[in-house]
C-alpha cells in the first residue's frame, strides 16, 4: 500500500477482459503506471511476491466502449483521383522506409469500372531491387477484379477478388519473413493466402513507395497505371491479424507500429492527380471491435522505470488491481467479518447451494455460463425473499452487488447460433437478475447504501450492471420476438425491436402507472431521429428502456450534489442540489451496435417542497466517465429544460444514457405577502418617480433655461429613466403575450442601460467641473452621446445576437437570470457604480479641501473646529444629494438577497429616483428658480403698463431708485398716439422701480424728441387694480 492506493496481485492468470472485469467486481481497477506512486506500489508488490512478468496493466489513454455518434456510420475521407484521361498520374509517399521483416499495407480503392487492363495499386521499389513489394489487379471475364501480390520479384497468382461494381472496397495485404506467410484481405475477409518466397530475406529499406503506377526502374519508367480513387492508405512493419483487418475495415484506428498514416500532406502528387472528398460507409457490426493489443509490464529499467509492451489481449496473464486505500481497508473489514461468521442471508444461501459462498466472495474463475449465473441469481432471489424480515448486513449488500457485476459480464457467446433454448435461459437470467437488483435498490435499504459508500460507488453501479447485462443478452433475448417487458416494483425493463423502413414510427416508453400520479415518467426517441438512422444505412433497430423508481431515496439528501447554482434575482437563497425524480434510461442499438441519438423525456418531481423552500429542476444524466474512480457523477451537458409544469418537467438531451431531474433547492427569502407588497410598492413608487421626471422635463422646456452641457445631460437622463420606468410599470400586462413580452424585455434592457450610461455621464461631467477639465465642450458632448445612447444600443444588440433564444426569463418580462444573459445588464451596472463611487469620493475630497482653505483664510488665527465643520457640511451636503442622480443607491441591489428589508429599501430609493431628480434639478436648481423669477417680473411689468390713469410729476432728487429697464411702447399708452409721426422719430420708455412707492409701484418715463430740443416728459402710472 501507498499513502493513497492499495495494490492486490491476483493468483490466477486471465485474459485482459476477464482481468478487467474481476478488478471491477472488487470495486477497483487494473493498475496503471502513469504516476510515480503507482510505479512504487506495483514495484514493491512484485518484489515481495517474486512473481514473474509480464502482467496486465491498464492504458489510461484508451477510451472505453461507448455509443458511437451517427456520423461514424459515414466517415469522410480525403481521397486522390487518378483520372482515365492521363496515364501519367501517380502519388509518392514522402518518407524513408526501414528494412522490414514484416509488412502490412491497407488501402481503400474505388476501381474505374470502364478500365479492364492490368493496374498497379501500389509499388515499392528498393535501390537494388525494383519489384520488391507490389499489389496489382485486373478484370477477369466474369467482371471481377482479381488481385495479386509481387514479393521479392515473385508474381503470385490472381485469386483474391471483388466485384467491379464501382463501389469502394477495403484491401489489406500482409507478409511475414519468418514463415513466409502472406495474405490478401478484401472488405475484412481473407480472400487468398500462402507461404514461401524464392528468397527468405527482409524487404530492403530506403525504397520509394508509389501509388497508381508500376516502377520498371527505381522511382521511374512508370507502367500499368491505376484509374479510379484511392484513400486511407496505411503501412505497418508488422503482419496484421484477421481481427485487426476486420476492425480497420470498420473504420477503427490502428496506431501501434504504424509506419505511415494517411495524410495528403505527406504525399507528392502528379499534377493530373486531384484531391477529392468522399463519404464512406463504415460497417456497423464491427464498429466496436477490439483493435489494439493490450498493455503489459515486462520489466524494469536500471532506474526502476517500467518497461511496457503490447501483448495479444487473449493471452492469460497475471494482473494487479488498484483501489483507494480507504476502500481497500473497509472492504477487508467487511470480508473478514463475513468469513468469521455468516449472516442470516449467507446461511440461507449455503443451505440452497454449496457453491454460493465461493462465488459471492468473488473468485477469479467467476461464472462460466448463462445457466450457472441464472441458477445462482435464482437462489439469491429466494434467499432475499426468505430473509426479508431480518434484512441485509453490509457484507450481504457488497456480495450481492459483486454477484450482479459478475453475472452481467458472463459472455453471451455471440458466435454461436441463438436457439430457443438459449433464449429461454437468457430470459430466465434477466428475470432473476432484475429481481435481485430490485431487492437491493429498494427504499428500505437506503441506510445500508450509506453504510457501504466507502466501498461501493453507489446504486448507479447496479444500474450499470443492468445496462451491461441486457445489452449483452439482446441477440438471445429477442429471438422470435420484438417486444419484451420485465417489471418489478422498483424496476421496469422494456426491449423493443423493429426493422427500419421509410416512414418508421418513433419509440416511446413509460414507467408504471400509479393511482396518485396522472403524469407518467416517459422517454421517447422522435420519429425524425429514427428516420435518420434509416437514412444512415441501419436495418434493424433495438431500444432498451429502463425505469428505476426508488433510486432517489438512496442518494443522501443531506449530501449536496455539487453544481453551479442558478442565478436568482435575490428573492431566493441557494441551498443545494438533490436528486428529485426517478431515473429513466434508453439505449439505442442499430444493427446490434450502440448508437447515440437525441431523446425527449418527462419526469415527475418526487421530492416534496418543505415550507419556505422552492425547487428549480435541472435536466441531467449520469456520466460514468466523469470521475471514474468514484463511479461517475451527474452531468448536464447536452440537456435542456423544454418546459416546467406543476409536478413534472419535460427535458431534451442530444444523447442516450441514464437521465434524471436534479432539483436545485432554494430558501424563499420573501413570503407571498412580502412579494405582493413589494410589487405594489414598486408600481406606486414608479408612478411617483415618473411624475417627478415628467415635471422636471416640462420645467426645463417651459422656463427656457440657457443651453449648456449640464442641462443637456440632465434632459437625456430624464428621458431614458422615464421611459424605462414607464415600461417597467407596463411589463406585467405584456407578460401575457410572448412576443410583446420579448419586445418589452429588450426595451427595458435598452433604456435601463441608457439610464445608467447617462448616470455615468453625470459622474464624468461632475468630475470635469470640479476636479479637472481636459476636453472642449463640443467634443465632450459628442463623447457623452456615444456613451449615453451608443453604448446601450451596442450592448443590447450583441446580447440579442448571442443569446436570442435564452434572452428572456420564463415567467416575466426581464432578462433571463438563469444563464449568463443577466450579466449583459449587471456587468455594465457594476462598472458604472464603481466609476461613480470613485467620482463622488474624489469630488467630496476636493470640495472639503477647498472649504477648509477658505475657512482658514477668513479666520486664520481663531477658526474653530465648529466653523470648519459647518462650512464642510455646507459644501458636502449638495454633493451627497447627488447620490441618487449618480445611481449609487443601486448598490443596495447587490445585497437584496440578504434580507427582505434591504429589498424594501432598494425599491423605495430607486423607484423614487425621479422624485430626487425633481428636487435636485427643479426645486433647488438656481437656474430654474432664476428663470421662473424672470418670467414673473416680465408678467408684472406687462401688467403695470395696463394702468388706466396717468399722473405727471417731476422726479425728486431724494427719490431713491434701485433699478432701470427698457420696455417697448404699448398701444394703450397715451404716448403711443401722441408720438406717432415720421418713421425717423423714436420713442423710448423707461420703467423705474421706486422704493418710495408701495412694493408693487412702478414709474414709466417716456422720452420723445421734440423739434431740435430733447424734452423729457415724465408720466407716472398706477398699476391697474391699485
Residue 212: which pLDDT band, with cuts at 50, 70 and 90? very high
8 Å CB contact between 986 and 970:
no
Q: What is the mean pLDDT of residues 830-834?
A: 86
8 Å CB contact between 293 and 257:
no
CA atoms within 13 A on the CB side of 213: 27
Q: What are phi and psi of 177, to 5 degrees?
A: -65, -40
Given this model, what pLDDT does residue 290 score? Answer: 42
Give the integer Cα–Cα distance in Å for 279 and 880: 72
Given this model, what pLDDT does residue 970 score? Answer: 39
Question: Does residue 951 carry a pLDDT above 50?
Answer: no
Given this model, what pLDDT does residue 691 score? Answer: 85
User: Who has greater pLDDT, 480 or 752?
Assistant: 752
Given this model, what pLDDT does residue 573 score? Answer: 66
Q: What is the mean pLDDT of residues 351-361?
A: 59
Upstream peptide bond of 54 is cis (omega within 30 degrees of 0)? yes
Given this model, what pLDDT does residue 346 score? Answer: 81
Q: What is the mean pLDDT of residues 973-985?
A: 37
Indicate the range of 413-422, 583-592, 608-617 predicted with least confidence.
413-422
Residue 291: which pLDDT band, with cuts at 50, 70 and 90? very low
Q: What is the mean pLDDT of residues 588-611?
A: 81
Bridge partners of 93, per DSSP, are 267
Give the integer Cα–Cα distance in Å for 726 and 732: 12
Residue 453: which pLDDT band, with cuts at 50, 70 and 90? confident
3-state helix, strand, coil in the chain (%, to 5): 40, 25, 35
Highest mean pLDDT among 33-42, 549-558, 750-759: 750-759
The overall average pLDDT reported for the chain is: 77
SS3 993: strand
Percent of the chain topping pLDDT 70: 75
Nearest of 802, 465, 526, 816 to residue 654 by alpha carbon: 526
CA angle 239, 244, 245 (to 5 degrees): 85
Nearest of 673, 535, 648 to residue 70 by alpha carbon: 535
Residue 986: which pLDDT band, with cuts at 50, 70 and 90? very low
Given this model, what pLDDT does residue 213 score? Answer: 94
Bridge partners of 154, per DSSP, are 151
Give the integer Cα–Cα distance in Å for 473 and 200: 48
Give the integer Cα–Cα distance in Å for 847 and 194: 102
Given this model, what pLDDT does residue 961 score? Answer: 41
User: Who has greater pLDDT, 994 or 686?
Assistant: 686
Q: What is the mean pLDDT of residues 1005-1012?
A: 46
Question: Does residue 869 carry a pLDDT above 50?
Answer: yes
* Tally of CB atoms within 10 A around 201: 12
Q: Is 704 left (phi over 0), alpha (psi -120 to 50) or beta?
A: left
Residue 997: which pLDDT band, with cuts at 50, 70 and 90? very low
Helix axes 394-408, 370-386, angle to 10 degrees: 160
Given this model, what pLDDT does residue 750 score? Answer: 92
Q: What are phi and psi of 296, to 5 degrees?
A: -135, 155
CA angle 837, 839, 842 (to 5 degrees): 110
Residue 179: which pLDDT band, with cuts at 50, 70 and 90? confident
Residue 859: which pLDDT band, with cuts at 50, 70 and 90? low
Given this model, what pLDDT does residue 331 score? Answer: 83
Tell me the whole-structure pTM to 2 decimals.
Answer: 0.56
Residue 599: which pLDDT band, with cuts at 50, 70 and 90? very high
User: Who has greater pLDDT, 285 or 236?
Assistant: 236
Instruction: Map grid coordinates 482481468 to a residue.
Output: 19
User: Who has greater pLDDT, 664 or 150?
Assistant: 150
Q: What are phi and psi of 10, to 5 degrees?
A: -75, 150
Given this model, what pLDDT does residue 895 score? Answer: 58
Highest mean pLDDT among 332-341, 458-467, 705-714, 955-964: 458-467
User: How would you classify the pairing of strands 208-211 and 55-56?
Assistant: unpaired
Beta strand segments in 202-356, E: 208-211, 214-217, 220-223, 228-236, 258-260, 267-269, 274-281, 294-300, 306-311, 318-324
Nearest of 755, 753, 756, 763 to residue 719 by alpha carbon: 755
Residue 6: which residues within 8 A CB-CB, separation 6 or more?
A: 41, 322, 323, 324, 325, 327, 328, 329
Q: Tens digit of pLDDT for each residue in 60-95?
A: 765 444 444 444 456 778 999 999 888 999 999 999
**Through-space distance between the first and last CA atoms of the chain, rounded to whole angstroms:** 114
Eight-class DSSP state of 64: P
Given this model, what pLDDT does residue 224 score? Answer: 92
Q: What is the mean pLDDT of residues 941-954?
A: 54
Residue 187: which residues within 8 A CB-CB, separation 6 or more?
A: 162, 169, 170, 249
Question: Does residue 971 carry a pLDDT above 90?
Answer: no
8 Å CB contact between 377 and 339:
no
Q: What is the mean pLDDT of residues 836-846?
A: 78
Give the integer Cα–Cα distance in Å for 71 and 918: 65
Eight-class DSSP state of 897: G
Question: Does residue 1024 carry a pLDDT above 50?
Answer: no
Q: What is the mean pLDDT of residues 617-635?
A: 84
Give the integer Cα–Cα distance in Å for 396 and 388: 12
Question: Does residue 702 carry a pLDDT above 80?
Answer: no
Indicate the range of 48-57, 677-686, 796-805, 874-883 predicted with least confidence.
874-883
Residue 762: which residues within 8 A CB-CB, separation 6 or more?
A: 713, 717, 836, 882, 885, 886
Q: What is the mean pLDDT of residues 248-269?
A: 83
Question: Does residue 1009 carry a pLDDT above 60?
Answer: no
Percent of the chain topping pLDDT 90: 18
Highest mean pLDDT among 241-245, 249-253, 583-587, 882-886: 583-587
Nearest of 753, 786, 769 to residue 710 by alpha carbon: 769
Q: What is the mean pLDDT of residues 896-900?
A: 58
Given this model, what pLDDT does residue 141 score? Answer: 80
Given this model, what pLDDT does residue 232 score? Answer: 92
Question: Does residue 953 carry a pLDDT above 70?
Answer: no
Given this model, what pLDDT does residue 80 score? Answer: 95
Question: Does residue 568 carry a pLDDT above 70?
Answer: no
Given this model, what pLDDT does residue 683 score? Answer: 78
Given this model, what pLDDT does residue 504 score? Answer: 76
Given this model, what pLDDT does residue 200 score? Answer: 78
Q: What are phi and psi of 815, to 5 degrees?
A: -60, 150
Question: Does residue 110 carry a pLDDT above 50?
Answer: yes
Amino acid at each position: 500500500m501507498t499513502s493513497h492506493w492499495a495494490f492486490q496481485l491476483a493468483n490466477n492468470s486471465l485474459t485482459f477482459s476477464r482481468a478487467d472485469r474481476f478488478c471491477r467486481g472488487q470495486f477497483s481497477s487494473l493498475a496503471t503506471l502513469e504516476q510515480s506512486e503507482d510505479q512504487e506500489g506495483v514495484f514493491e508488490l512484485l518484489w515481495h511476491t517474486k512473481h514473474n512478468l509480464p502482467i496486465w496493466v491498464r492504458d489510461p489513454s484508451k477510451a472505453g466502449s461507448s455509443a458511437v455518434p451517427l456520423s461514424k456510420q459515414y466517415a469522410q475521407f480525403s481521397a486522390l483521383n487518378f483520372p482515365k484521361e492521363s496515364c501519367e498520374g501517380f502519388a509518392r509517399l514522402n518518407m524513408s522506409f526501414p528494412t522490414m521483416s514484416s509488412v502490412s499495407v491497407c488501402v481503400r480503392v474505388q476501381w474505374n469500372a470502364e478500365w479492364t487492363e492490368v493496374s498497379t495499386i501500389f509499388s515499392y521499389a528498393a535501390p537494388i531491387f525494383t519489384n520488391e513489394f507490389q499489389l496489382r489487379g485486373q478484370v477477369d471475364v466474369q467482371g471481377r477484379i482479381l488481385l495479386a501480390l509481387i514479393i521479392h520479384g515473385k508474381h503470385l497468382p490472381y485469386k483474391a477478388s471483388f466485384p467491379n461494381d464501382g463501389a469502394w472496397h477495403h484491401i489489406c495485404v500482409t507478409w511475414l519473413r519468418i514463415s513466409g506467410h502472406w495474405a490478401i484481405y478484401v472488405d475484412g475477409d481473407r480472400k487468398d493466402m500462402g507461404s514461401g518466397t524464392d528468397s527468405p530475406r527482409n524487404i530492403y529499406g530506403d525504397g520509394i513507395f508509389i501509388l497508381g503506377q508500376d516502377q520498371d526502374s527505381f522511382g521511374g519508367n512508370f507502367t500499368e497505371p491505376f484509374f479510379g480513387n484511392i484513400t486511407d492508405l496505411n503501412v505497418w512493419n508488422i503482419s496484421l491479424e484477421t481481427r485487426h483487418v476486420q476492425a480497420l475495415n470498420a473504420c477503427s484506428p490502428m496506431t501501434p507500429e504504424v509506419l505511415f498514416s494517411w495524410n495528403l500532406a505527406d504525399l507528392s502528387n502528379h499534377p493530373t492527380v486531384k484531391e477529392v472528398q468522399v463519404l464512406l460507409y463504415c460497417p456497423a457490426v464491427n464498429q466496436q471491435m477490439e483493435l489494439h493489443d493490450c498493455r503489459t509490464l515486462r520489466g524494469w529499467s536500471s532506474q526502476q522505470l517500467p518497461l511496457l509492451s503490447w501483448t495479444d489481449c487473449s493471452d492469460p496473464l497475471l494482473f494487479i488491481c488498484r483501489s483507494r486505500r480507504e476502500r481497500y481497508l473497509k472492504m477487508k473489514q467487511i470480508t473478514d467479518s463475513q468469513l468469521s461468521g455468516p449472516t442470516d442471508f449467507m446461511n440461507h444461501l449455503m443451505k440452497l447451494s454449496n457453491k454460493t459462498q465461493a462465488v459471492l466472495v468473488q473468485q477469479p474463475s467467476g461464472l462460466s455460463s448463462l445457466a450457472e449465473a441464472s441458477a445462482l441469481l435464482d437462489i439469491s432471489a429466494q434467499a432475499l425473499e426468505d430473509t426479508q424480515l431480518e434484512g441485509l448486513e453490509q457484507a450481504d449488500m457488497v456480495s450481492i452487488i459483486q454477484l450482479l457485476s459478475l453475472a452481467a459480464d458472463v459472455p453471451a457467446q455471440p458466435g454461436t447460433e441463438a436457439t430457443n433454448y438459449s433464449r429461454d435461459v437468457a430470459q430466465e437470467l434477466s428475470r432473476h437478475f432484475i429481481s435481485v437488483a430490485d431487492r437491493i435498490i429498494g427504499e428500505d435499504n437506503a441506510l445500508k447504501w450509506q453504510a457501504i459508500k466507502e466501498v461501493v460507488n453507489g446504486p448507479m453501479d447496479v444500474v450499470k450492471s443492468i445496462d451491461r447485462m441486457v445489452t449483452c443478452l439482446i441477440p438471445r433475448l429477442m429471438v422470435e420476438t420484438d417486444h419484451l417487458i420485465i417489471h418489478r416494483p422498483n424496476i421496469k425493463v422494456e426491449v423493443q425491436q423493429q426493422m427500419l423502413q421509410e416512414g418508421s414510427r418513433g419509440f416511446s416508453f413509460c414507467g408504471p402507472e400509479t393511482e396518485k400520479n396522472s403524469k407518467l415518467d416517459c422517454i421517447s426517441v422522435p420519429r425524425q431521429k429514427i428516420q435518420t438512422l434509416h437514412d444512415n444505412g441501419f436495418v434493424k433497430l433495438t431500444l432498451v428502456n429502463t425505469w428505476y423508481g426508488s433510486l432517489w431515496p438512496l442518494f443522501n439528501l443531506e449530501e449536496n450534489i455539487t453544481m453551479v447554482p442558478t442565478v436568482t434575482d435575490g428573492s431566493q437563497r441557494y441551498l443545494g442540489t438533490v436528486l428529485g425524480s426517478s431515473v429513466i434510461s434508453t439505449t439505442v442499438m442499430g444493427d446490434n451496435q450502440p448508437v447515440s441519438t437525441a431523446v425527449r423525456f418527462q419526469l415527475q418531481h418526487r421530492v416534496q417542497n418543505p415550507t419556505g423552500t422552492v425547487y428549480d429542476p435541472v435536466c441531467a444524466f449520469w456520466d460514468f466517465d466523469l470521475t471514474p474512480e468514484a463511479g461517475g457523477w451527474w452531468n448536464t451537458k447536452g440537456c435542456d429544460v423544454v418546459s416546467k409544469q406543476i409536478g413534472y418537467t419535460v427535458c431534451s438531451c442530444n444523447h442516450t444514457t441514464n437521465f434524471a431531474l436534479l432539483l436545485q433547492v432554494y430558501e424563499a427569502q420573501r413570503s407571498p405577502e412580502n412579494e405582493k407588497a413589494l410589487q405594489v410598492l414598486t408600481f406606486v413608487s414608479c408612478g411617483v418617480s415618473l411624475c417627478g421626471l415628467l415635471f422636471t422635463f416640462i420645467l426645463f422646456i417651459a422656463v427656457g433655461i440657457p443651453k449648456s452641457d449640464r442641462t443637456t445631460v440632465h434632459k437625456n437622463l430624464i428621458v431614458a429613466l422615464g421611459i424605462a420606468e414607464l415600461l417597467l410599470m407596463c411589463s406585467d400586462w405584456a407578460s401575457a403575450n410572448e412576443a410583446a413580452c420579448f419586445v418589452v424585455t429588450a426595451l427595458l434592457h435598452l433604456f435601463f442601460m441608457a439610464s445608467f450610461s447617462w448616470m455615468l455621464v453625470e459622474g464624468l461631467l461632475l468630475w470635469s467641473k470640479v476636479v479637472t477639465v481636459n476636453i472642449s465642450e463640443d467634443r465632450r458632448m459628442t463623447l457623452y452621446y456615444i456613451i449615453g445612447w451608443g453604448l446601450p444600443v451596442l450592448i443590447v444588440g450583441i446580447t440579442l445576437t448571442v443569446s436570442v433564444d435564452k434572452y428572456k426569463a420564463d415567467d416575466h418580462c426581464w432578462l433571463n437570470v438563469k444563464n449568463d444573459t443577466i450579466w449583459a445588464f449587471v456587468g455594465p451596472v457594476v462598472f458604472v457604480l464603481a466609476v461613480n463611487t470613485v467620482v463622488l469620493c474624489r469630488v467630496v475630497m476636493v470640495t472639503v479641501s477647498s472649504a477648509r482653505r477658505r475657512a482658514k483664510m477668513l479666520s486664520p488665527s481663531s477658526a474653530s473646529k465648529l466653523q470648519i465643520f459647518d462650512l464642510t457640511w455646507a459644501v458636502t451636503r449638495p454633493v451627497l444629494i447627488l447620490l441618487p442622480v449618480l445611481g449609487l443607491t443601486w448598490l443596495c441591489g447587490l445585497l437584496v438577497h440578504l434580507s427582505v428589508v434591504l429589498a424594501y429599501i432598494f425599491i423605495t430609493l430607486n423607484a423614487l429616483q425621479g422624485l430626487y431628480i425633481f428636487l435636485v434639478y427643479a426645486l433647488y436648481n438656481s437656474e430654474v428658480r432664476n428663470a421662473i423669477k424672470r418670467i414673473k417680473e416680465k408678467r408684472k411689468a406687462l401688467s403695470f403698463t395696463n394702468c388706466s390713469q396717468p399722473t405727471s410729476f417731476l422726479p425728486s432728487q431724494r427719490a431713491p431708485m434701485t433699478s432701470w429697464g427698457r420696455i417697448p411702447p404699448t398701444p394703450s399708452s397715451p404716448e403711443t398716439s401722441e408720438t406717432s409721426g415720421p418713421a425717423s422719430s423714436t420713442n423710448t420708455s423707461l420703467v423705474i422701480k421706486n422704493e418710495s412707492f408701495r412694493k408693487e409701484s412702478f414709474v414709466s418715463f417716456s422720452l420723445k424728441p421734440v423739434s431740435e430740443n430733447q424734452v423729457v416728459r415724465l408720466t407716472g402710472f398706477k398699476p391697474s387694480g391699485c
